[in-house]
Copies of this chain bind each other. A is one copy, B any other.
Amino acid sequence: MESVFEIIAEPNRRAILSLLVSSEQSVGEIERQLRMPQPTVSKHLRVLRDAGFVESTVDAQRRLYRLKPEPLQEVDDWLAPFRRFWSAHVDALERHLERMGQHPTTKSTPAKGKTRRRK
C-alpha cells in the first residue's frame, strides 16, 4: 500500500475519514451511516489503521475508531509548495481581471480575504 496518497485514493476510505472527523465511531455506526457491507468497513479500517490514519479502542464487543492527524498532515505538507504556486496565480488572475474590468466567473467578489472556490 505504501504511501498515504494511495490510502486516500479509495473513496470509501475517504468517506470513513470524513465521518470520523466529527467524533469517534464504532464499526457498526460507520457501516450504517455509509451503507457499506461490514467486511468492507473492517477491511478499510484495517488499512487505515496500519497506515496510522486511525486508532481504535475496545468497548465490549465494539471497537471505537478515531482519527489520528499525522498521515493527513503529510498530505498537507506535500501540498505546501503548490499552495504558494496557486496563490500567486490567483493574484495574477485577479490583477488581470482588474485591468480588464471584467468578472466573468465571479460575480463581484465582495471584499478581501482569499477567494476560495469549490467545483
Contact = CB atoms under 8 A, between A and B. Distances in A.
Given A5-B8, A75-B75, A18 B81 contact: yes
Contacts of A9: 3, 5-6, 8-9
How many copies the complex holds: the figure is 2
A78 B17 CA distance: 11
Interface residues of A, number: 32
A17 B74 contact: no
Contacts of A119: 70, 74
A79 interface: yes
Interface string A64-82: 0001011011111111011
B69 A89 contact: yes
A71 to B, nearest CB: 9
10 contacts: A6-B9, A8-B9, A14-B78, A21-B81, A67-B82, A69-B86, A73-B116, A74-B118, A76-B83, A77-B118
